[in-house]
Amino acid sequence: ILNVEQSPQSLHVQEGDSTNFTCSFPSSNFYALHWYRWETAKSPEALFVMTLNGDEKKKGRISATLNTKEGYSYLYIKGSQPEDSATYLCALGSGQGGKLIFGQGTELSVKP
Amino acid sequence: DSGVTQTPKHLITATGQRVTLRCSPRSGDLSVYWYQQSLDQGLQFLIQYYNGEERAKGNILERFSAQQFPDLHSELNLSSLELGDSALYFCASSVRDSGNEQFFGPGTRLTVL
């Protein structure tokens, strides 16, 4: 059974702080790694899809890196804002069609 | 708004009943996915259809079934409902059958009493 682990489970930061989260996955089963942002009462929104070892993606203040050999991805948020408060999910593409295996998420709370 | 629509938004029913959840993908997307979000679980993949054919299957219960129609909308049928089936059911769509981002609908909140 493929397992995707995210840490920390939750994070509370002050506005302006930079922060990062980790997603770990079995390196032998890598196909693609997805990051999603999920705000309360909304639906998950895609941030990045990463497929190559060493991939780095950026969208505004949010960026992500990927290491498929050691089985981890980092998501960074620079200068957190209250509107960044959400649960950040990573998901492993299993290679079985588009099936995604999601981690439990990191819940980020940014206080003004 | 992702462009994926799901109906109904909320559904309350009794144990033993059968319900149908409906999903319309974004225009141009051929893949439809169904996920379940229970209180004590993360997002669990149920099933994927690509252009009308089943493409991938997760731990979907035998009481659950799905299909994708020629117009590419999809329905998830849940039968002999149990209390534990209460959950948020998401539909997502993507252009291809794998490797690209999935766009999630607003979800259907199912409550089984």
Q: Does B49 contact chain A (CB < 8 Å)?
A: no
Judge if the upstream peptide bond of residue A8 is cis by omega within 30 degrees of 0: yes
Beta-carbon separation of A43 and B107 below 8 A = yes
Assign A104 to helix, strand or coil: coil
Mean pLDDT of A5-31: 93
Return the closest-CA partner of residue B91 out of B78, B109, B104. B104
Chain B hits for A97, Cβ within 8 Å: 31, 48, 50, 55-56, 97-98
Give the model confidence (pLDDT) of A21-70 as tens digits: 999 998 887 889 999 999 998 999 999 999 988 899 999 999 999 999 99
Mean pLDDT of chain B: 95
Q: Does B56 contact chain A (CB < 8 Å)?
A: yes
CA distances from A94 to A2, A29, A43, A101 (A): 8, 7, 22, 7
CB A34 within 8 A of CB A49: yes
CA distances from A15 to A12, A19, A63, A88, B92 (A): 10, 11, 18, 17, 32
Select the more confidently predicted residue: A48 or B97: A48
* Helix or strand holding residue A28 (H, E): none
What's the rounded Cα separation, in Å, for the pair A18 and A110? 10
